Amino acid sequence: MQRESDCERIIGTLREHGFRITPQRRRVVEIVCAADGHISAGEIYDDIHARNPQVNISTVYRTLEWLENLGLITRSDLGEGREVYEIATRGKHHHLVCDRCGAIIEVDDSILDGLREILMEKYGFRAEITHLVIHGVCKSCRENDGSP
């Protein structure tokens, strides 16, 4: 499957560039690749720590920082102190979250094209929106509730 090949590809890239592949680093890469979307440093640590209690959380943070600097994973700040990571190969996307039923809808990055243009034209601001979470009400909930 795609996630496994992502993982092997990343490990291979690191090895080719002469980076040391330690068991800890390998586990972090595996877990991030296996994750279905975002995952936090704490979740990665819990996962590793369950099998290898000697592994320290500082190693997880250092590995994530290293992978991020290498451009192999991306970090998103979800607000409220929540920082999550995911592999960088996924197409850029964002999430709509329905506040009624909790549904999460993945939307393509292109929905932001217009907004980016406006910000550049009006403010000269180059928006770098890596991950956006938009709350609201989904279609079925609107129809069920009869709300606009």
Partner DNA sequence: TTGCGTGCAAAGCCTTTGCAACGGT
Partner DNA sequence: ACCGTTGCAAAGGCTTTGCACGCAA
Interacting residues toward its own copies by CB under 8 A? 77, 79-81, 96, 98-99, 105, 107, 111-112, 114-115, 118-119, 122-130, 133-139, 142-143, 147-148
Which C-beta is closer to DNA: that of 66 or that of 109?
A: 66
Give the pair of three-digit tokens for residue 76. 């998103």
- Binding of residue 140 to DNA (CB under 7 A): no
CA distance 87 to 33: 6
- Cα-based distances in Å from 16 to 8, 30, 31, 128: 12, 18, 21, 30
Instruction: Please report, as residue ranges, which positions from 47 to 66 form the binding site for DNA (by CB under 7 A).
Output: 52, 54-59, 61-63, 65
- Binding of residue 23 to DNA (CB under 7 A): yes
Residue 25 · residue 56 · CB < 8 Å: no
